[in-house]
Structures are given as C-alpha cells and as structure tokens.
Structure 1
Amino acid sequence: MGVIAPTMAPMLRRSLLLASLASPLATPALAFDKPIRLIVPFAPGGSQDVLGRLLAQAAAPGLGQQVVVENRAGAGGVLGAEAVARAAPDGTTLLLATAGQTTIAKAIGRNLPYDALASFTPILHLSDSPVALLAAPDMPVSDIAGLLRMAREAREPLPYASTGIGTNTHLIMEDLKARAGLNVEHVPYRGAAAAFNDLAAGRIRLMFVSVPSVLTSDARQFKVLGVTSRTRFPALPNTPTLIEGGVPGFEASIWTGLTGPAGMPPAVVAQIAQAFQAAMRAELFQSRLDSLGVTVNGSDGAAFGAMLQDDLARWTRVAAPLNIRLD
C-alpha cells in the first residue's frame, strides 16, 4: 500500500469516521483514552440515578470505555453541572442534565456559576416523564374538568402543594393556574412524602407530582385525575391527559438529557450520541421504562438544543410574575 499524502489524511480519517458511524457493528470510531464519567447531579438511589446507571452500562460497548456514574449532589444539582461545565470538552465528562440545573434554574433567577445553556454542548434528549395531577381523596370531583371548575369557582384559594419553590411541580401548576384561571395558592414542601400526607388528610387540595412518585405510593392517598403528556402515559393507561380534560395544548415534561462541556468536537458528540441511542434501545433499558416512569425521546443535539431554548422561554414567562428569590 502506498504512502498517503498529508493532504489526503484528513479526508481519509473523515471517510473512516463516517463509515464507522454508519455501521452498527463497527468498532468505536474514536478511541477514548480513559473511562468516561457520567455525572448524575443527584444522590444515589433515585429515579434519575437509576436511569443514568442503566444507560451508562448499556452505552459502554459503543464507546470502547467504561462509563462510570459519579453522583455529585448538592445545590439542586448545580454542583454536578458546574463540574461538567468546567471539564475539558473531550467527551470524557458528561452530565445527566435536567431543567433543575439548566432552564428552570436560569428562569427562576438562580445565581449559577455557569451559563445554563452556553456552558454546555447538547448531545441527546434522553427521556421524558410527565407529571400527574392529583386531588385530595375527599374532593368531590372525579375528573379534570370537575377539578378545574371547582378551582375556578372557589371563594377561597385552594391550597396546592409542590416539591419546593421553583421546582417543576411549582411552575407547572402556576402555568396551569394562569392558563385556566384557577384560584389556587402555593404551599411548598421539601419533597413529595410530606405533601402526600397532607393531601391524604385534606389539608392540601391538589398537586402535581412525578409519575414515579405516583407509581410507588399508596393510591388511597389521592385521586389521580390527569397527566401532562401529549398522549396517555403507558404506565397509567386509564388516566387522561390534561389536553383531553379541557386544557388545549397543555403539556409538561420532567425531561432528562445528555450534555457535555461547551466546545465538544462534532465527531465526539456524534459518537457519544450514537452510543447512548443504542443504549436506549437495549433490553436492559427498555425493560425498566414503566418502573422509571419515562418514555424514550432520542432527539439529537440540534433538536435538544432547540428544545432547551423553548423550555427556557416558557419557564421564564411563568416565573416572571412570581418574584422567586432563592439565592
């Protein structure tokens, strides 16, 4: 075989890379020289941690390296996101990202040590999980329309719970309040467990909460009236969407994505995206979807980046009149 001219070498490497990406059986196109860290900005044991560990295990073969999950909890996930934002953009440090460190964090005015969008490279929109609309068991309603009618006509504000000021469950209810003209009042809790107790006792009248929390709780504590997905959620097939219940176009998701530091080379982004897309198709992951309360998304970095911009705009609009102060 003849010597390849220097001017031809980049073209050959590019051709080999494209061929490798096109073949699902090809060996990794890029050789990572050390294990890849997937930073999960939450404590071990939660649904996000489980999701990250499943994906890390299934994605490793496509990357030619072990994917090591590193739990970096603290400050609502900001500490973990900061570690990724400051890492080298070589693809060996990744973030299991959620709105709590990115779009919602910026929308509610958190003092972040990074730019919520510009400090990261969007790689893949991994999954979505709707939230469920719950009512107290003694509420004289049986569907979304009945609850909305009661909340509009209430003489005194109906107290609703969230899992904390500025969280998904707070902002989603405030969005619904504004769109549907509801007379409700926010009561923040630290997590869902205490809120469930007060909901069961009737001290709280309604709340949004994550689907995994519903699936693992005593159903006698509440009435599940609706979900915020576009179509009915597989794990709750008998529960209508809010769109079906009379709120046109109302969707909301607790999304999870994969990002890395800003400035990652496109070829590195492409290989990581391919490996994690394959991981989401693996039986190891597919078999756990219902218990995790998620559906696969799989949108690429460009689509994920556009979604992040839309998500930021939405929650900025919702949060603006609330005058949230956290820092």
Structure 2
Amino acid sequence: MQRRSLLTLAALAPLAARAQGGGNPGGGTPGSGNPGTPSSGSQSPAAWSPGGPIRLIVPFAPGGSQDVLGRLLAQAAAPILGQNVVVENRAGAGGVLGAEVVARAAPDGLTLLLATAGQLTIAKAIGRRLTYDPIADFTPVLHLVDSPVALLAAPQLNVGDAAELMRRARQAPQPLPYASTGIGTNTHLIMEDLKAREGLNVEHVPYRGAAAAFNDLAAGRIALMFVSVPSVLATDGTGFKVVAVTSRERFPAIPQVPTLIEAGVKDFEASIWTGLSAPKSTPAPVVARLAEAFRGAMASDLVRARLDGLGVTPNGADGPAFGAMLGDDLARWTRVAAPLHIQLD
C-alpha cells in the first residue's frame, strides 16, 4: 500500500476500536439528542447524538461501487452513532436527483449525501440545470476516499508505456479516437485536460458505460480511454493495456502500473473522489460528530478489508479541507469544460 494510504489509515486507527465496539462512544442516549450547543467550554463531537435513523442518500443505482461503499460505511457507522444508518438510492441525472433531496432536507444531521463530482463540481462545471448551488447549499463533512482513473491503450497500438502512447497521439496525422463513459463525465474531462496539456491529437467518442467501450478498445475501433480503476479491476485484463494511473503515487491494487507523473506529465493528478455532505447550515457540533463517526467507520476492519477491491484509498480530510478541495475541483473542471460547450439538458 502506498505511503500516503498507510499514514491515513494509521491516523484513523484509534477510531477503529470505537467502530468495532459498537454502542454510542459519545455517552449520549441514542434518540435523545437535538443538534444543539455543546456544554460550556467544550467543542466535543460527542455533544450531539442523532435523534433518529440517519438517511444516507446514495445518488446511484444499487450494485455499483459507490453503492457498495455507502452500504459498508452505513453498517460500520451505525454502532458508533447509536442509530441505524439507512442507505437510500436516488439515481438519475448523473446523481443530481439524489443531491436535490439532501439540499432540501432539514439541517439536523439526519440526511446525508454520499457525494461525488457528478452532483457537485462537475455538475456545475458542465452547466447542468441545478435546483441547488453545489457549494453553497451543502456543508462538507468528510472527504472519504479517492480513486484514480487508469489510462488504457488498444492492443493494436503496441505501445510500451504512457509516454509512447502520448507521443503517438501528438504525432498522429488523424485524430485518434478515445472513449469515455459519457459526455461530461470524469473520464471525458480528464482526457480533455490531458489533451490540452500535452497537445494530443485525439477525438472524443462517448459511450453509455465502460463495457461497450472495452469491446471497441479490444477491437481497435477505439485507440485509448480513461476508465475508473474499479472497472479495470472487474475485468480479466485482456483486450487492452493499462499504461498509467492518475494518482500521485502508484495505486496499491495495481502497483505495477506507473503514474502519469512518472510518464513525464508534471503534477497531473485526477481522482474520482467520494465525500460526505450535509445540508447547508448544519450545526458545527453535528458536523463534527458525523465526521468522527464516519472516520471510525473508515478505520473499521469491515471497511478497510474492502477498500482495495473497490479501487479506492482512504482520505479522511475534514470538512474545511474537503470544502477547499471542492473549490479547487470546480475551478479545474470549469476551465476544462468551457471550450467544449457541453449541453446535456
């Protein structure tokens, strides 16, 4: 496992015992608390206890990697909070429908969003019609995990590494077709960012998902593509060559694959991140208690045992740091998307 992940897990480890031990570590009585003011001189997260079951809105259909992650976290966080954490799938419009539910919810800590860029930063960057402000209408609670994307090359190209693939793309007399999992998705915008930075002669071919794109990549109808690491891990690895990942350090589940930074693209990182968000105006003691509980869930054996298989690494940054990342992410994808004139609605 990469050094950053080890350090993150070490920092989370003291909370794991609470996640394993069950009960309500804050000493409050489950079901009794309202999001109120901590006792005088105290800012302890344990000052708040949820007054009922917590809804964790997962803005995707059941069965995908985000849904699996959400259910694991819900199971591990429940004994820490002393209340059930119930996953509610609200798929549609790239996750926007689920985000709308949370944006309209009361700021009482009982409705949370398993947030990704598709509902927040990318949604605004590509000009989706939103009934909420993806920054102002949510309170960032915790940056949960990150997953890089993998750069794949068609076997017919017979390239040895990412540097050779990019050299071919720069020198190609005709644009090389690249696949994405849809217009305005992470895999589309990450390739457009790399294209602009490295002067690649590539042309976008959107697909509705990874499966059909994999088939065309194997057949040579597509030359290259970015795809999520979980999608790569779910295949047998035939029909394409994985030439790079977009993390700063090599990804633990596929340590033999170098990073794009190693291939010479200075400081190029891109993450399919997942975070935890609450409605705006959620009181600070509530946010702190939720962050503590979900950190404990992340550090639990139940969750840690599944992270590599899900293609993610733990992050654990607190609300202010998560909020700062959201601002940076929005600025980046707004810059990348502006010349593409994407129209989805």
Q: Does 1:283 align with 2:309?
A: no
Instruction: Report the Cα distance in structure 2 between the residues aligned to 1:206 and 1:293, rounded to whole angstroms.
Output: 20
For residues 32-71 of structure 1, what are the structure 2 equivalents within 5 Å? 32-71=50-89
- Partner of 1:180 in structure 2? 198
Q: How many residues align?
A: 310
Instruction: Report the Cα distance in structure 2 between the residues aligned to 1:234 and 1:283, rounded to whole angstroms.
Output: 18
Per-residue CA deviations over 1:243-299 (Å, capped at 9, x if unaligned) read: 001100000000000001000000000000000001110000000011100000000
Aligned with 1:195: secondary structure?
helix
- Partner of 1:206 in structure 2? 224
Q: 1:263 to 1:138 in 2, by over 3 A?
A: same
In the alignment, is the contact (CA less than 8 A) between 2:60 and 2:90 conserved in 1? yes
Displacement after TM superposition at 1:221 (Å): 1.4
Instruction: Report the Cα distance in structure 2 between the residues aligned to 1:239 and 1:210, rounded to whole angstroms.
Output: 14
Q: Does 1:13 align with 2:31?
A: no
- Partner of 2:266 in structure 1? 248
- Partner of 2:107 in structure 1? 89
TM-score by length of 2: 0.88
Per-residue CA deviations over 1:292-326 (Å, capped at 9, x if unaligned) read: 00000000000000000000000000000001011
Displacement after TM superposition at 1:116 (Å): 1.1
In the alignment, is the contact (CA less than 8 A) between 1:137 and 1:220 conserved in 2? no
TM-score by length of 1: 0.93
What is the identity, as a one-letter code, of the residue corresponding to 1:234? P
For residues 64-143 of structure 1, what are the structure 2 equivalents within 5 Å? 64-143=82-161
What is the percentage of aligned positions where both structures have the same residue?
A: 74
Q: 1:175 to 1:197 in 2, by over 3 A?
A: same
Displacement after TM superposition at 1:15 (Å): 4.3
In the alignment, is the contact (CA less than 8 A) between 2:140 and 2:320 conserved in 1? yes
Q: RMSD between aligned alpha carbons? A: 1.2
Instruction: Report the Cα distance in structure 1 between the residues aligned to 2:331 and 2:73, rounded to whole angstroms.
Output: 29
Q: 1:232 to 1:12 in 2, by over 3 A?
A: closer
- Partner of 2:243 in structure 1? 225
Instruction: Report the Cα distance in structure 2 between the residues aligned to 1:124 and 1:11, rounded to whole angstroms.
Output: 21
- Partner of 1:145 in structure 2? 163
In the alignment, is the contact (CA less than 8 A) between 1:144 and 1:246 conserved in 2? no
Displacement after TM superposition at 1:218 (Å): 2.6
- Partner of 2:47 in structure 1? 29
- Partner of 1:316 in structure 2? 334
- Structure 1 segments, 4+ long, off by >2 Å, are 14-18
Aligned with 2:155: secondary structure?
coil
Displacement after TM superposition at 1:66 (Å): 0.6
Which consecutive unaligned segments of at least 5 residues does structure 1 have?
1-9, 22-27
Per-residue CA deviations over 1:221-249 (Å, capped at 9, x if unaligned) read: 10000000000000010000000011000
Instruction: Report the Cα distance in structure 1 between the residues aligned to 2:164 and 2:262, rounded to whole angstroms.
Output: 13
